[in-house]
Amino acid sequence: MSTRIPGAAAAMRKAPRQARSRAMVDAIVEAGARVLDARGWAGFTTNEVAGVAGVSIGSLYQYFPDKTALLDAIRRRHFEAVLAVLRSAVDGQAAPEGLAEALVDGMIAIHRDYPALHRVLLDLPNPYAGEAAHRAFLDEYLRLYGVIVARHRGPDDADGVAAHLLSSAIEGVIHNAARRGLLAHAGLGRELRGLVCSYLGVAAIPAGRSATA
């Protein structure tokens, strides 16, 4: 199932149609993430992004009218990455220990590559972020957490409180660690996996042992 967020091209001048143009847009968005991580919003310029991506500024402007539109694309790509980790954990792991490992390690990984970028995404409002697109992301995000809760704690979460609590715990720990520069700390994943396992009603994975071992 696709993780694409509805309305993803809302802030773009046009959507890429061919494989070559899609690859160029992907390269621009990746370069944008790198520059935003290194420079912050104040130092984030389309000229530098074009240089890092290896494209002309004109090529960048074919798809992104300004740096705020590019920020929107970076934010949406992050939404898609988060949903991909959730779906992978739900679809690929039957045991709660393995699910906790896949979920926590996956979420840390997508935040660890550009920790300063994620601080910007947390702190900076985006006028292009459509309410419908953001709601679609949140609905799917909580639905997947609901699947996890129902699978391991039973189907008694009709109001979604348990799914909201679990998602908020993981999100809060990781976002706070990103703000403080602690995502690479060796104990973070272990402790967070233990928290998830405890909430799902199973024993935590012993230190130094993989759930897939």
Give 57-107 pLDDT, tens digit per residue: 999 999 999 998 898 889 889 889 999 999 999 987 668 888 999 999 999
Q: Is-contact 101 205, C-beta < 8 A?
A: yes
Q: Tell me how crowded residue 109 is: count the other CB atoms within 10 A of its CB.
A: 13
- The closest of 117, 13, 15, 135 to 75, measured between CA atoms, is 117
* Cα separation, 200 vs 166, whole angstroms: 9
pLDDT, residue 182, reads 87
* Cα separation, 21 vs 13, whole angstroms: 13
What's the pLDDT band for 125 if we cut at 50, 70, 90?
low
What's the pLDDT band for 168 if we cut at 50, 70, 90?
very high
What's the pLDDT band for 201 if we cut at 50, 70, 90?
confident
| Token representation of residue 112 | 């660890």
Asked if pLDDT for residue 3 goes beyond 60, the answer is no
Q: Is-contact 191 177, C-beta < 8 A?
A: no
Region 118-136: mean pLDDT is 70
What is the pLDDT of the chain when averaged over all its residues?
84
Reduce the DSSP state of residue 169 to 3 states and report it. helix
Reduce the DSSP state of residue 209 to 3 states and report it. coil
What's the pLDDT band for 126 if we cut at 50, 70, 90?
low
Count Cα neighbours of 136 within 13 Å in the Cβ-side half-sphere. 15
Kindly state the DSSP code that residue 93 receives in the 8-state scheme.
-
pLDDT, residue 36, reads 92
* Cα separation, 200 vs 111, whole angstroms: 24
pLDDT in tens, 22-49: 999 999 999 999 999 999 988 999 999 9
Q: Is-contact 163 149, C-beta < 8 A?
A: yes
pTM equals 0.80
User: What are the Cα distances from residue 71, in Å, to 92, 111, 117, 120?
Assistant: 31, 16, 10, 10
pLDDT in tens, 7-17: 444 567 777 78
